[in-house]
Chain A
Amino acid sequence: MTPKPLKVLVTGSSGLLGAGVAGRLVEAGHDVVTLQRRPSGVTGARDVQGSVTSAETVRQAMAGRDTLVHVAAKVSVSGPAEQYEQVNVQGTRNVVEAAQEAGVERMVHISSPSVAHAGTSIVGEGAGPADPDHARGHYARTKAQAELLALAADAEDFRVLVLRPHLMWGPGDTQLTDRIVDRARQGRMPLLGPGAALVDTLYTENAVDAVLRAVEAVDRVHGEALVVTNGEPRAIGELVREMARAGGAPAPRLRIPARVATSAGAVIERIWEWADLGRSGDEPPLTRFLAEQLSTAHWFDQRRTREVLDWTPRVSVDEGLERLADHYRSV
């Protein structure tokens, strides 16, 4: 850790990653402010409640800070475009501008590998440049714009490092892990195609570690984006099977051909948008983006990431699965 305690603002600290990062920063003796709509629940941090979409709130939270970890985002696979624009693009613009005004020296921006993904397989590639024109879906497109905004602000006195965690999972993760387990328990978790596509994932604790390392690394290396994963690609079918098993559910048996799923996803997605079903917070059961994600390979070259962050994941996939099983047994 940097010898001098940092004054850090963590946005989006009600989520698993943001809360985890804020908590660990507090433990390490840093002065931590969090900004999110609900109470963060992070002991020892000062909560500012509000949205990144409000420039004024952001400015208040940023006062006196020297370090920014920007986690807040609208993460989903459906819903109207404007919400994504406001949170992901405008929200990022707000935090970057406020940070520059406040004299913040370093920023770790949390992005997503989907910002550079045009829908084809990713087999051992590094982090390509964010590309809003080819990103799939509102989430990926707006996150791509946000990443470009953050990187454009990179300077010697405002150092920006972007992390793109890929498919985070673990105890307490509601985005992916709980959904897979819930659907598997109901017998509704389909496998798309043969389930053999290799995907990289990231155990949540490793993600928190990586962000903490990035807070140090940004003083050495900045102005670039790094995909962060466990570096243990696994077949998607095996992962889903093992997560279901950890949740005490039977292995999924339902198989849908990948091509069928992709077009079905596209149709469902459009119906959802047209009927404005997203407003209630519900998500379509299958989107084209998700279908692609679950039927094509997505794994990355982690050499640059590990070199820059001087980090290797502490928790392996197998160990993570054991911890996940313990977690579901206890809840």
Chain B
Amino acid sequence: MRLPAAPAFIPDHSALPGLDPAWSRLVTAQTVDGERTFHVLDTGPVLEAAGISPTGTILAVHGNPTWSYLWRSVAAATVRAGQRPGARQVWRVVALDQLDMGCSERLAHPGLPVPATAEESGQPSTALGYRTLTGRIADLDAVVRKLGLDVQARQGHRIVTLGHDWGGVVSLGWAGRNRDLVSAVMTLNTAVHQRSEDPLPAPLRAALAGPLLPGSTVVTDAFLRTTTALGHPSLTPEVKTAFHAPYTADAAPGTAAGAAERRGGIGGFVADIPVGPEHGSHAELQRVSSDLALLGRESTPALILWGPKDPVFLDRYLADLLERLPQADLHRFETAGHLLPEDVDITEPILLWLERAVPTEMDRVQPSPAADRAPSSWSDDQRPLWSFLDEWRDQDTLAVVDLAGTHPGEVTWERLASVVDSVACGLQETGVRPGDRVSLMVPPGRDLTAILYACLRLGAIGVVADAGLGVAGMTRAVRAARPQWIIGELPGLSVARVQSWPGRRISVRTHSAVVASGLRVEDSIYSMMDRHAAERFTGPAPAPSDPAAILFTSGSTGPAKGVMYTHGRLAALAALLRDVFDVRPGSSLLAGFAPFALLGPAIGATSATPDMSVTEPASLTAQAVAAAADAAGATIVFASPAALRNVVATAESLDDAQRSTLARVDLVLSAGAPVHPVLMAQVAQVFPSAQIHSPYGMTESLLLTDIDRDTIEQVTSADSDQDGVCVGLPVGPVRVAIAPLRADGTSSDTLLEGPEAFGVLGEVVVSAPHMKAGYDRLWLTDARSKRDSTPERDWHRTQDVGHLDDDGRLWIEGRLQHVVTSPDGPVAPGGPEARIDALAGVHRAAVVGVGPVGTQAVVAVVEPSPVPGVRSPRPGLADAELTRQVRSAAAPVPVSAVLVTDTVPVDIRHQSKIDRTRLAGWAERILSGGKVGRP
């Protein structure tokens, strides 16, 4: 089959939604084989017409089989941002259609594409006239020079490349060779290196399979259709048609070419994938990847935006990119895939990142708020996390009492210090290096404690994802964190094997060779203990600014997020527990709440793990608490409200001895969610001598404020007019500020503190030395959460809403995304919900909004208390009496409708976080006349 040449053309924009005709132009440039004409999206003329001169150019390169249409959102957003008054940066977008692709010129080919041979290596085209990677990079260079961007760049104009798919390779390849012209690089899903030991991704294997290649890519539109079917969610038919448009028979006016004749480039691209060393473009790809490492060495700012649901560009290619560009900022959009610009808004991270990473002369130089402020060496008043292990290595007092699992036991400080040393030595011997990520799939107990502290001492980063996330959530978390190592027990390692989690495997116990090789286990912790018994670990100690751990959030509001802590920040957390909560060295704490069990050795406290299921905090019984407290002499108890509820429920069957053990407890800390005063009173009966505190915090900052039982009773008395749940005063060095809510339910950029903030509803913004260093591989989320940070101080946007009362106590009223935007102003659900909850006959209530932002109607959804012998009401409108009561309880918040349901959906981990998004969807459906169904 011969493919004829055809000229470039300006497409008919009426069938290309989102594309402004003013951006389309033809550019004829001198290429390696003469003048060629490219279709180019160029926002330069539009900006010029508006009288705006760009400070830089985003040079965007599409992949296969898309075309510059892929970049329409970037073109639109940059033009919009540039026209904003006072815009500090103005970005021009230049996005070419590569030759044989999109609306650019079609080259003549005497036959269908075949892969370039080794003899053709380094040639810009194959014998059949198809562009190779070398030719593609040269074409891009030709367009850059034709437009004079190289000259401009030498005069201070910023050039930033942006690529996707094989356009990522072309743009990064060009950037690596033109480092003097390039200010920064950005790429979406791509790959610059194919390790010979890895198999090719399945879709490519299929497309490349010998005789199939021209069939699936050129003769038919199978490859094209397969690619545009990769949207999450699916592309609209209009957008799909627009992507296909240049590859159809009637695409170009005045040419008689059939559809297949227009698709030569698609096949040419696929044939040019360098599958092995014998391929003609293999050497060029090697050059691209080593040039890229130069960008890495020179720390050229780099941004990677990644859609993990990509069947071609798998996570291992991302890992490879990060090795070459260790300085890169990365955001993984967990819900997105190959066609990232279609799946999510990539313009917000791009514009925000450019503002920070590529400052123009007009910008004040802003240090990146992501930079950790912790100094690089330990000061006198800081205690490294392992300091008590060092100091107390000769003591035979108890460090850990472990009643969880099948092998309860006790460990002295002497033993723990020695085991931590042997494991650290063993890990190092096996190949674990400082900075390596180690996923810890080990249930809480003495093994986990020893392994974690060995990792900390070694400088490896512990990755901790709660088993409560479930297999799918854990898999997503582990893929996102991409640990180099997984340490686990059999169940965890089996899941890792089945789900193909990344990372080399180490088991805790020593297993038979058959089991070990089946699970690809290389070593075991117990074997390390034997091999290195009595050996001291003498490697260099990590600095306060070094990463220590990544903890995953519960994921009750979207995919779980990895939260990065440094050594300095965890040490500050331990110091806070010591100074504020009086957890002294030598004391003993019982932890039914995982994060705190692990802090015991850092505080110098004995930590006791009671017998309970990790995934179900509600399985903690009063007997288990008594047993652990007795064994460890514990006087401090940490537990979640769900666990405490069960402790209260099982307290009846305690015997006298157990009761007196619990009577020795002098502090109960309930963490994880607010505690109802009624539950607090019940807890007080179980622990009669204890002070009961309920600190407020989150994975990103575990302890922020604190309130005790007496104060709760005092502030929530009947005459209280405060909305929400009181979580008390900030502890220690914590600062709490309020960012007032706007009418559209978002929080403003202003932070109010002290009396100025009293009574103002807003997002709770916090600052503390022990809060997160950052979100892991979620650049955009991190940048948003730190938007208030200054060079002097880090702030964290919690996405909780609430207010401070006149005594400075914080009241939490819900989550930012659940704020109802009524025409009278934003309404936080927490206040009216608490008042409705207090009605007799109401088990749980949720307040949600229906309708457009700014004019939402307030809806109360009520789950009535079950009445024995009476069937729960049919979901739908509440009866007249309940409606009246709920309206008057909610006042002054105007309630449009009161609905009843048999269950208000809540999260699994805490049994308390209401799924308001789901409820709002249900309410919206039935209140607009739809079927009732169930929420």
Binding site for B on A (CB under 8 A): 121, 123-125, 193-198, 231-235, 237-238, 241-242, 245, 251, 258, 295-297, 299, 301-303, 306, 318
Given contacts A124-B857, A233-B896, is CB(A241)–CB(B880) below 8 Å?
yes
Which residues of chain B are near A124, meaning CB under 8 Å? 850-852, 855-857
Q: How far is the CA of A137 from the CA of B146 in the complex (A)?
A: 63
Given contacts A125-B852, A195-B877, A198-B896, is CB(A303)–CB(B928) below 8 Å?
no
User: With contacts A196-B876, A237-B877 known, what are 8 further pairs, Cβ within 8 A?
Assistant: A123-B851, A123-B924, A195-B877, A196-B877, A196-B926, A196-B932, A198-B927, A318-B887
Q: Give chain A nearest CB distance to B284 CB in angstroms.
A: 56
Q: How far is the CA of A129 from the CA of B929 in the complex (A)?
A: 24
Are the CB atoms of B929 and A196 closer together than 8 Å?
yes
Q: How far is the CA of A131 from the CA of B924 in the complex (A)?
A: 26
Which residues of chain B are near A197, meaning CB under 8 Å? 927-929
Are the CB atoms of B897 and A235 closer together than 8 Å?
yes
Are the CB atoms of B928 and A123 closer together than 8 Å?
yes
Q: Give chain B nearest CB distance to A215 CB in angstroms.
A: 24
Please name the residue on chain A nearest to B923 by beta carbon.
A196
Which residues of chain A are near B931, meaning CB under 8 Å? 194
Are the CB atoms of B929 and A242 closer together than 8 Å?
no
A231 partner, pick from B823, B856, B887, beta carbons under 8 A: B823
B927 partner, pick from A196, A245, A251, beta carbons under 8 A: A196
Are the CB atoms of A121 and B929 closer together than 8 Å?
yes
B interface majority secondary structure: mixed
B899 within 8 A of A: yes
Which residues of chain A are near B688, meaning CB under 8 Å? none
Are the CB atoms of B928 and A235 closer together than 8 Å?
no
B857 partner, pick from A194, A237, A242, A299, beta carbons under 8 A: A299
B674 within 8 A of A: no
Q: Mask for B840-878, Cβ within 8 A of A = 1, else 0?
A: 000000000011101111000000000000000000110
B883 within 8 A of A: yes
Please name the residue on chain B nearest to A306 by beta carbon.
B823
Which residues of chain A are near B887, meaning CB under 8 Å? 318
Which residues of chain A are near B905, meaning CB under 8 Å? none
Are the CB atoms of B850 and A198 closer together than 8 Å?
yes
Are the CB atoms of A302 and B876 closer together than 8 Å?
no
Q: Give chain B nearest CB distance to A98 CB in angstroms.
A: 38
B473 within 8 A of A: no
Are the CB atoms of B929 and A303 closer together than 8 Å?
no
B894 within 8 A of A: yes
Q: How far is the CA of A295 from the CA of B931 in the complex (A)?
A: 11
Q: Please classify how large the interface on chain B is, using the bins under 10, 10 to 19, 20 to 34, 35 or more.
A: 20 to 34
Which residues of chain B are near A242, meaning CB under 8 Å? 880
Please name the residue on chain B nearest to A234 by beta carbon.
B896
Q: Give chain A nearest CB distance to B934 CB in angstroms.
A: 13
Q: How far is the CA of A234 from the CA of B857 in the complex (A)?
A: 9
Are the CB atoms of A238 and B877 closer together than 8 Å?
yes
Closest 9 pairs (CB-CB, A-B): A124-B851, A197-B929, A297-B928, A296-B929, A301-B855, A121-B928, A124-B852, A198-B927, A196-B926
Given contacts A124-B851, A238-B883, is CB(A297)–CB(B929) below 8 Å?
yes
Please name the residue on chain A nearest to B897 by beta carbon.
A235
Are the CB atoms of A194 and B876 closer together than 8 Å?
yes
Please name the residue on chain A nearest to B858 by beta carbon.
A233
Q: How far is the CA of A235 from the CA of B929 in the complex (A)?
A: 9
Which residues of chain A are near B928, meaning CB under 8 Å? 121, 123, 197-198, 296-297
Q: Give chain A nearest CB distance to B826 CB in angstroms.
A: 14
Binding site for A on B (CB under 8 A): 823, 850-852, 854-857, 876-877, 880, 883, 887, 894, 896-897, 899, 924, 926-929, 931-932
Sampled A-B contacts (11; CB under 8 Å): A123-B850, A123-B851, A193-B929, A196-B876, A196-B926, A198-B850, A198-B928, A297-B929, A299-B851, A301-B852, A306-B823
Which residues of chain A are near B929, meaning CB under 8 Å? 121, 193, 196-197, 258, 295-297
Q: How far is the CA of A79 from the CA of B880 in the complex (A)?
A: 37
Q: Give chain B nearest CB distance to A11 CB in angstroms.
A: 32
Q: How far is the CA of A123 from the CA of B920 in the complex (A)?
A: 14
A302 partner, pick from B855, B883, B896, beta carbons under 8 A: B855
Which residues of chain B are near A123, meaning CB under 8 Å? 850-852, 924, 928
Which residues of chain B are near A234, meaning CB under 8 Å? 896-897
Q: How far is the CA of A251 from the CA of B880 in the complex (A)?
A: 10
Are the CB atoms of A245 and B876 closer together than 8 Å?
no
Q: How far is the CA of A237 from the CA of B927 in the complex (A)?
A: 11
Are the CB atoms of B823 and A301 closer together than 8 Å?
yes
Please name the residue on chain B nearest to A318 by beta carbon.
B887
Q: How far is the CA of A318 from the CA of B888 in the complex (A)?
A: 11
Q: How far is the CA of A251 from the CA of B894 in the complex (A)?
A: 24
Which residues of chain B are near A301, meaning CB under 8 Å? 823, 852, 854-855
Which residues of chain A are near B877, meaning CB under 8 Å? 194-196, 235, 237-238
Q: How far is the CA of A195 from the CA of B926 in the complex (A)?
A: 9
Which residues of chain B are near A194, meaning CB under 8 Å? 876-877, 926, 931-932
Q: Give chain A nearest CB distance to B467 CB in angstroms.
A: 40
Given contacts A123-B924, A238-B877, A242-B880, is CB(A232)–CB(B896) below 8 Å?
yes
Are the CB atoms of A245 and B896 closer together than 8 Å?
no
Interface-centre pick from A231, A241, A245 (highest chain B CB count, 10 A): A231
Interface-centre pick from B850, B894, B896, B931 (highest chain A CB count, 10 A): B896
A303 partner, pick from B855, B876, B924, B932, beta carbons under 8 A: B855
Which residues of chain B are near A232, meaning CB under 8 Å? 894, 896
Please name the residue on chain A nearest to B878 by beta carbon.
A238
Which residues of chain A are near B854, meaning CB under 8 Å? 301, 303
Q: Give chain B nearest CB distance to A167 CB in angstroms.
A: 15
Q: How far is the CA of A306 from the CA of B857 in the complex (A)?
A: 16
Are the CB atoms of B927 and A303 closer together than 8 Å?
no
Please name the residue on chain B nearest to A125 by beta carbon.
B852
Are the CB atoms of A233 and B857 closer together than 8 Å?
yes
Which residues of chain A are near B899, meaning CB under 8 Å? 196
Please name the residue on chain B nearest to A121 by beta carbon.
B928
Please name the residue on chain B nearest to A126 by beta carbon.
B855
Which residues of chain B are near A251, meaning CB under 8 Å? 880
Which residues of chain B are near A245, meaning CB under 8 Å? 880
Q: Give chain A nearest CB distance to B743 CB in angstroms.
A: 9
Q: How far is the CA of A237 from the CA of B874 in the complex (A)?
A: 15
Which residues of chain B are near A306, meaning CB under 8 Å? 823
Q: Give chain B nearest CB distance to A303 CB in angstroms.
A: 5
Which residues of chain B are near A196, meaning CB under 8 Å? 876-877, 897, 899, 926-927, 929, 932
Which residues of chain B are near A233, meaning CB under 8 Å? 857, 896-897
Q: How far is the CA of A119 from the CA of B887 in the complex (A)?
A: 30
Q: How far is the CA of A57 from the CA of B254 in the complex (A)?
A: 66
Q: How far is the CA of A121 from the CA of B854 in the complex (A)?
A: 18
Please name the residue on chain A nearest to B894 by beta carbon.
A232
Please name the residue on chain A nearest to B880 by beta carbon.
A241
Which residues of chain A are near B896, meaning CB under 8 Å? 198, 232-235
Please name the residue on chain B nearest to A242 by beta carbon.
B880
Are the CB atoms of B855 and A198 closer together than 8 Å?
no
Which residues of chain A are near B897, meaning CB under 8 Å? 196, 198, 233-235, 238
Are the CB atoms of A235 and B927 closer together than 8 Å?
yes
Interface-centre pick from A196, A297, A302 (highest chain B CB count, 10 A): A196
Please name the residue on chain B nearest to A294 by beta carbon.
B929
Q: How far is the CA of A231 from the CA of B897 in the complex (A)?
A: 13
Q: Give chain A nearest CB distance to B859 CB in angstroms.
A: 9
